[in-house]
Amino acid sequence: MADTRLAKTVSCALTGVDGTIVEVEVNISSEGDDPSYSTVGLPDTAVRESKDRVRAAIMNSGFRYWGKHITVNLAPANVKKEGSAFDLPIALGFLFASRDEDDESLRRYAMVGELSLDGRVRAVRGVLPMASHLSRSGLTGFIVPQENAAEAAIVKGIEIIPVRSLRETFLFLQGALAIEPVHIDHETVFNQPLEYGCDFADIKGQEYARRAIEIAAAGGHNIIMIGPPGSGKTMIAKRVPTILPDMSFEESIETTKIHSICGKLAENQALVTARPFRSPHHTISDAGLIGGGTYPVPGEVSLAHNGVLFLDEILEFKRNVLEVLRQPLEDGHVTISRASATLKFPARFMLVAAMNPCPCGYYNDPTRECHCTELMVQRYLSRISGPLLDRIDLHIEVSAISFQALTEDAVGESSASIKARVNQARLTQMNRFQGRRIFCNAQMESRDVKKYCGLIPETKRVLERAIEKLSLSARAFDRILKVARTIADLEHESGLSAAHVSEAINYRTLDKTYFNH
């Protein structure tokens, strides 16, 4: 008579940036002559390959590998299972099934972990969103690789049990070994001092660009810098995170989830507390930028969530790659549709772009001769579309730095000083939009623009002349008002004056200078 045994463990899979509970059923049978091992429940290649890792880990941990027919079912069967995180629950299901034990602890603890051939438990991706989901499931604890413990312990409401090996985990579940749950002091981790390694005080001159960057940071506006090579565009962009407001705890959790899924967290890093700065190379694909793939994963725009996405030499990016930026710039998220599922990844970031004015880089430069024809310049600039340009609030010209500015001893204003003004402006905006899912002026909708950017006759006349002269779109009109609102916030003014609107228009003059030949 055939001997058949079954055990069930609990694990977790990822669907986008959220967790999904997975029940791992392991059935062992002695029936028949030819051995077999099958995994069902929409497993990917890494999950199917777990049979070899699990078998070696069990034997090298001193346990007996028993049974001729082994079936592993990952339920629910309609959710795709990816990666090596199911090694540990599968192995433990096998061990308890082979002993014909139905231990209550298997139903109280969820577990994830990749197994090495000698039985050690390796770190896996996405532990934070898994822990966040499991904390609402009623389970007692979550067993994770020791390297992932600090990250998972950020979540409250569930015990985090760190393990180093298969044997250690088995003994813990049997009650033969005590393992203390990991506890994290959230305040200490979150309030660690931020080290950027750069400061706006390093920048010589460029007062116009510094002012525009401050406005952009204060209102969360997208900005593009146009200037010749060596004018300091990249240097300025890298310092933008140093003047952005510190992240809230909720923003930090959101950002850490994405970095956890992509495997971007440093070893034993619990939280991403500094605003991200992502600078992808211009050879990146559209899937690499916004996310995607056969099994969709977040792209660079999501890794820049709550931070800065810097596109250096933006016109060198493929046009189709730039066009996919429209949705995240407008909606703050990316929607990726596949036959099996539609996933949404957060992507609320500040876009900072830089470009040369022409192929040689010296168009309109007063000190260097440009060797490009008008046709060459037009073809070069046509790589960025009008609709995408409309979604960038500030267009500024960054001039070459003069010798006098380079050699002067005066130190520029520090990031801390600029950040203080930015924080004050953001506080004004938080109070203005209290109770709404709007965090800065750049995120205002049309009805908000009408409500908070009221125009007096004088400002109407200024805008009317600008629209006639620059042929601005309706979207550009709204963005001018949003920027003017931020300028007024920096100056602690409740209403918009003609000076505020004129300065905002001044940051759109590149529409005329470069893009409307």
Digit-coded pLDDT (tens) for 360-376:
888 877 778 888 988 99
For residues 219 and 145, membership in a common domain is answered with no
Q: Which two tokens stand for residue 95?
A: 């061990």
Question: 406 falls in which pLDDT band (50, 70, 90)?
Answer: low
For residues 214 and 288, membership in a common domain is answered with yes
Please choose, from the candidates 290, 291, 292, the residue with its C-alpha nearest in 3D space to the C-alpha of residue 329: 290
**pLDDT tens digits, one per residue of 387-401:** 888 889 999 988 877
Report how far residue 237's alpha carbon sits from residue 394's, in angstroms, rounded to the nearest whole number. 14
Instruction: Give whichever of 96-110, 216-230, 287-301 has the largest mean pLDDT.
Output: 216-230
Which pLDDT score, from 0 to 100, does residue 515 have?
A: 54
Does 468 fall in a domain?
no
Does 409 fall in a domain?
yes
For residues 154 and 273, membership in a common domain is answered with no
For residues 18 and 152, membership in a common domain is answered with yes
Instruction: Give whichever of 16-20, 351-355, 394-398 has the largest mean pLDDT.
Output: 351-355
Q: Which two tokens stand for residue 48?
A: 């199917």
Report how far residue 7's alpha carbon sits from residue 5's, in angstroms, rounded to the nearest whole number. 7
Report how far residue 59's alpha carbon sits from residue 345's, in angstroms, rounded to the nearest whole number. 41
For residues 135 and 259, membership in a common domain is answered with no
- Non-local (6+) Cβ contacts of 377 within 8 A are 357, 358, 359, 363, 517
Q: Which two tokens stand for residue 455?
A: 């125009």
Please state, for a pLDDT cut of 90, what percent of the chain lies above it. Answer: 55
> The domain spanning residue 217 has which CATH number?
3.40.50.300
Is the separation of the CB atoms in 347 and 304 below 8 Å? yes
Which pLDDT score, from 0 to 100, does residue 232 have?
A: 85
Which helix (H) or strand (E) is 216 found in, with range?
A: helix 207-219
Instruction: Single out the residue in 151, 184, 217 at which a domain terminates.
Output: 184
Per-residue pLDDT at 517 exceeds 50? no
Q: What's this model's pTM, rounded to 2 decimal places?
A: 0.89
Please state, for a pLDDT cut of 70, what percent of the chain lies above it. Answer: 94
**Average pLDDT in the chain:** 89
Does 162 fall in a domain?
yes
Does 348 fall in a domain?
yes
472-479 long-range Cβ contacts below 8 angstroms, 24+ apart: 472/508, 472/511, 473/386, 473/390, 475/390, 475/391, 476/390, 476/508, 476/511, 478/446, 478/449, 479/221, 479/390, 479/393, 479/508
For residues 211 and 154, membership in a common domain is answered with no
DSSP assignment of 29-40 equals E--SSS-EEEEE
For residues 99 and 237, membership in a common domain is answered with no
For residues 233 and 120, membership in a common domain is answered with no
- Domain extent at residue 432: 200-440
Does 120 fall in a domain?
yes
> The domain spanning residue 48 has which CATH number?
3.30.230.10
> How many domains, in total, are found in the chain?
2
Three-class DSSP category at 211: helix
Helical packing angle, 474-490 and 207-219, nearest 10°: 100
Report how far residue 96's alpha carbon sits from residue 105's, in angstroms, rounded to the nearest whole number. 11
User: What mean pLDDT do residues 16-35 have?
Assistant: 85
Does 492 fall in a domain?
no
Does 358 fall in a domain?
yes
User: What mean pLDDT do residues 319-333 have?
Assistant: 91
For residues 136 and 216, membership in a common domain is answered with no
Three-class DSSP category at 123: coil
Report how far residue 142's alpha carbon sits from residue 149's, in angstroms, rounded to the nearest whole number. 10
Which pLDDT score, from 0 to 100, does residue 510 have?
A: 62
Does 144 fall in a domain?
yes
Instruction: Single out the residue in 424, 440, 456 at which a domain terminates.
Output: 440
For residues 285 and 151, membership in a common domain is answered with no
Three-class DSSP category at 221: coil
For residues 254 and 123, membership in a common domain is answered with no
Instruction: Single out the residue in 411, 440, 469 at which a domain terminates.
Output: 440
For residues 223 and 365, membership in a common domain is answered with yes
Which pLDDT score, from 0 to 100, does residue 188 have?
A: 82
**pLDDT tens digits, one per residue of 453-478:** 888 888 888 888 888 777 777 778 88
